[in-house]
Amino acid sequence: MMSKDFRLELTQRPRRLRRTASLRGMVEETVLRPEDFIAPLFVVDGKAPPDEIKSMPGVFRLNLTDLVRECRALRKAGVPAVALFPKLEPRLKDEEGTEALNEDALVLRAVRAVKKAIPELTILTDVALDPYTTHGHDGVLTAGGDDVDNDRTVGILSQMAVLQARAGVDLVAPSDMMDGRVGAIRRALDAAGYSGTGIMAYSAKFNSGYYGPFRDAVGSAQAAGTRLLSKATYQLNPANRREAISEALLDEAEGADIVMVKPAGMYLDIIRDIREATRKPVAAYQISGEYAQIHAAARLGWLDLARCRHESLLAIKRAGADMILTYFAREMAEALR
């Protein structure tokens, strides 16, 4: 049996700096702040009360009045930005997503309402057609209906971006993954007099299986008849790292102000790769499936919700993200404060 007096002769003992809470705080390398978060919010028309999304506990579809109220609460908690996503009534959807170009579309009214109430809050809007199409794809389909028509879609997205800029958004966020859309949107914004409107590009958006709850939230799964809709011809192959870096650098060259990785938690290596490849700010989207699985495990008593929530976001920032879109934004900001 080893003696109780046994001692190692060590010069380096890393545990010295873990001995107390104050020492651990002094050497902490990554720190989360409320200013790191962007809150994705879902908006609906009418006056219905907040409607909780079953697959996303604690996340609601909000009417315009409740949306403004939630934005006030987020700003009070220190969250600097929101990303708005509309859920349309089925009657407004069609094959071409024409409602996206309605000058009084729901998302544009939402932008105007939030900007009027909280002008200092940064607003992002999604530039893609999936909330507007009956087939649930991010663009219009080719004549054969078996793929998304890249160039026709980009033309529509450019018009969408101008309408959103006119409504007062700070950043348009093309999430469609069409080739050349960042450059086309930048040219359209500049030509329309919105050179000050920024672009947060979904540069490395992967064809992930974790998007299901989001598709429920905006109704694109219901429109398409399945939450398992494949977008493999335009979203990135989850197996590819080099391609993701290439996409981010293309978006930077075309005029993106911020590049994004989506999803975040399963793609920490991609966040780090892109952080090292560009000097642009890097955003990461902790998506609906990541949020849902943490909640599901916590409800079963398998995980500590608060600890895992914090750790998951810390990992994303540690990987190199400058800002994080997360459904935990408000509760994390309130907890940090």
Catalytic annotation, residues:
205, 262
Residue 201: name the closest of 265, 253, 137 by CA: 253
Six-digit token string for 35: 């200013």
Six-digit token string for 286: 């902790």
User: 3-state DSSP helix/strand/coil percent for the chain, to nearest 5?
Assistant: 45, 15, 40
Q: How far is the C-alpha of 178 from the C-alpha of 180, rounded, in Å? A: 6
Q: What is the CA radius of gyration of the chain?
A: 21
Q: Which distant-in-sequence residues (6+ apart) come within 8 Å of 329 by Cβ? A: 37, 38, 39, 40, 74, 79
Q: What is the DSSP letter of 177?
A: -
Residue 37: name the closest of 84, 86, 82 by CA: 82
In what helix (H) or strand (E) does residue 225 lie, and over which residues does it extend? none
Q: How far is the C-alpha of 119 from the C-alpha of 199, rounded, in Å? A: 19
Q: How far is the C-alpha of 67 from the C-alpha of 44, rounded, in Å? A: 9
Q: Which distant-in-sequence residues (6+ apart) come within 8 Å of 27 by Cβ? A: 17
Chain Cα centroid distance, residue 318 = 18
Six-digit token string for 146: 């078996």
Helix 150-167 and helix 106-117: axis angle, to 10°?
30
Q: What are phi and psi of 312, to 5 degrees?
A: -65, -40
Residue 230: name the closest of 246, 249, 248, 212 by CA: 212
